[in-house]
């Protein structure tokens, strides 16, 4: 598949650390609350809730947390009302960045985002300036240590996946959004363990960055991901493999 991003691989590794300190679960809970609030608490009739539940379960979010979040969304338990927003920005080297937030104070969140961007050589863009550079896809991640190429390809393509991409330590299985749940179900029914599963925004083209620009891009994206209200961050950068490995080692 053309246009896949190393940011997906980096985020996958970062998610493990986020889960350990509860940050990932907090963000998933807010998305579950919003999904249940807008479409009801039954995943069979609420595609958005069904999708985020697949993500939550692949991240090993406790069922008690999931159920409480659904009940907050449906009003059975008290909860904070969040507003959804999508932001578009440019980072160092002209990298396109698309990210979503859930916030109970949009003015505060925008101020914090502008500060993060300004501090890391980025700037907020107008609506529509970079969204056209991304396609919505389903993404299922499988650790190479848990499954071989032939097995992953067989399950993925038989279930209707679009492509399987070698991303170093993992296989990335891409689907059209409408095929995501059926492909995920096929993996769940197979002996192959899925590391993560979610809908993502996949870049159509990549911007090559290296050296100091590459480090600035990663710092900016890390800072955005660490902001409490930011839910998902997508970017179209590409860093040479050898340089990425050197940065990870350092």
- Is residue 246, in this structure, part of any structural domain at all? no
Clarify whether residues 116 and 161 are in a common domain: no
Classify residue 214: in a domain, yes or no: yes
- Whether residue 23 is contained in a domain is answered as yes
Compute the distance between CA of residue 238 and CA of residue 205 in angstroms, rounded to an integer. Answer: 10
Pair (93, 193) in one structural domain: no
Pairing assessment for the beta strands 207-208 and 237-238 based on DSSP bridges: parallel
Q: Using pLDDT thresholds of 50, 70 and 90, give the confidence band for residue 248.
A: low
CA 33/CA 5 separation, integer angstroms: 29
Report whether pLDDT(247) > 70.
no
The CATH number for 60's domain is 1.10.10.200
Rounded Cα–Cα distance for residues 239 and 230 (Å): 24
Region 129-148 average pLDDT: 92
Residue 1 has pLDDT above 50, yes or no: no
User: Which has the closest alpha carbon to 139: 108, 112, 161?
Assistant: 161
Please give the pLDDT value at position 19. Answer: 57
pLDDT of residue 149: 87
Identify the residue with better confidence: 14 or 27: 27
Is residue 85 over pLDDT 90? yes
* Cα angle, residue 77 at apex, residues 52 and 25 outer, rounded to 5°: 35
Same domain, residue pair 141 and 195: yes
Q: Is residue 241 part of a domain?
A: no
Together in a domain, 17 and 55: yes
Global confidence as pTM: 0.81
Query: 2 pLDDT exceeds 80?
Result: no
Please give the residue range of the domain that contains residue 45.
6-74
**How many domains, in total, are found in the chain?**
3
Name the E strands within the chain. Answer: 83-90, 96-103, 123-124, 134-143, 163-166, 170-175, 196-203, 207-208, 230-235, 237-238
Band (pLDDT 50/70/90 cuts) for residue 126 is very high
Distance, in Å, from the CA atom of 172 to the CA atom of 10, rounded to the nearest integer, reads 12
The band of 7, judged by pLDDT with boundaries at 50, 70 and 90, is low
Judgement on whether residues 90 and 57 belong to the same structural domain of the protein: no
Kindly state the average pLDDT of the residues 58-70. 90
Q: For position 173, what pLDDT does the model report?
A: 93
Mean pLDDT of 83-112: 94
Residue with the larger pLDDT of the pair 8 and 58: 58
Do 187 and 68 share a domain, yes or no? no
* Residue 111 and residue 212 in one domain: yes
Q: Which of 11-15, 51-55, 214-218, 221-225 has the lowest mean pLDDT?
A: 11-15
Residue 100 lies in a domain: yes
| 148 inside domain | yes
112 with 143, same domain: the answer is no
**Residue 110 predicted with pLDDT over 90:** yes
Over residues 36-47, the mean pLDDT reads: 91
Higher pLDDT, 85 or 196: 85
Q: What is the mean pLDDT of the chain?
A: 87
99 shares its domain with 199: no
């Amino acid at each position: 598949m053309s246009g896949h991003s190393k940011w997906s691989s980096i985020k996958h590794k970062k998610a493990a650390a986020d889960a350990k300190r509860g940050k990932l679960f907090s963000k998933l809970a807010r998305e579950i609350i919003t999904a249940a609030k807008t479409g009801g608490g039954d995943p069979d009739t609420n595609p958005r809730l069904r999708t985020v539940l697949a993500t939550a379960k692949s991240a090993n979010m406790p069922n008690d947390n999931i159920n409480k979040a659904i009940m907050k969304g449906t009003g059975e338990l008290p909860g904070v009302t969040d507003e959804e927003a999508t932001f578009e920005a440019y980072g160092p080297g002209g990298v396109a960045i698309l990210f979503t937030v859930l916030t109970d104070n949009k003015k505060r969140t925008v101020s914090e985002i502008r500060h993060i961007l300004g501090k890391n050589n980025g700037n907020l863009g107008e609506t529509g300036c970079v969204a056209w550079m991304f396609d919505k896809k389903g993404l299922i991640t499988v650790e190479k240590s848990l499954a071989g190429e032939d097995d992953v390809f067989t399950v993925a393509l038989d279930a209707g996946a679009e492509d399987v991409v070698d991303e170093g330590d993992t296989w990335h299985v891409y689907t059209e959004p409408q095929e995501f749940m059926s492909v995920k179900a096929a993996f769940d029914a197979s002996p192959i363990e899925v590391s993560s599963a979610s809908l993502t925004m996949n870049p159509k083209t990549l911007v090559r960055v290296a050296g100091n620009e590459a480090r600035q891009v990663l710092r900016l994206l890390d800072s955005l991901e660490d902001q409490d209200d930011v839910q998902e961050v997508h970017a179209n950068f590409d860093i040479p493999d050898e340089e990425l490995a050197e940065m990870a080692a350092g």
